[in-house]
């Protein structure tokens, strides 16, 4: 049973608003991280892996590393600008 299901019979525990918000934030962060990783994996694989095989060549490995670093940096810049923008 997930935490959003109604409590089982005999249990009187219910989430407070703070607990609910904390759990929601955690789930949103996890979903964002999964989406971020999938996006990076797809974009960097498409850009860097020219001949898929059982291992990466040196150039593929360094391309993947640079691609991931750039994507993380770009995401950080966008996030900072979004969160620092006046509302």
User: How many residues are present in the chain?
Assistant: 87
Query: What tens digit of pLDDT does each residue of 6-44 get?
Result: 554 444 456 688 888 989 999 998 998 899 899 999 999
Instruction: Write the CA distances from 17 to 20, 22, 24, 25, 76, integer angstroms.
Output: 5, 9, 10, 12, 29
> Domains of the chain by range and CATH?
22-84 (1.10.287.810)
Cα 28 to chain centroid distance, Å, stands at 9
Residue 4 pLDDT more than 80?
Answer: no
Half-sphere exposure in the Cβ direction for 37 (13 Å, CA): 5
pTM of the model: 0.62
Q: Is 19 helix (H, G, I), strand (E, B) or coil?
A: helix
């Amino acid at each position: 049973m997930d935490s959003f299901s109604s409590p089982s019979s005999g249990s009187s525990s219910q989430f407070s608003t703070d607990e609910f918000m904390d759990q929601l934030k955690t789930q949103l962060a996890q979903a964002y991280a999964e989406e971020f990783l999938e996006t990076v994996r797809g974009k960097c694989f498409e850009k860097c892996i020219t001949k898929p095989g059982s291992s990466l060549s040196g150039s593929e490995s360094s391309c993947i590393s640079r691609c991931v670093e750039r994507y993380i940096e770009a995401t950080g810049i966008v996030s900072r600008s979004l969160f620092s923008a006046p509302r």
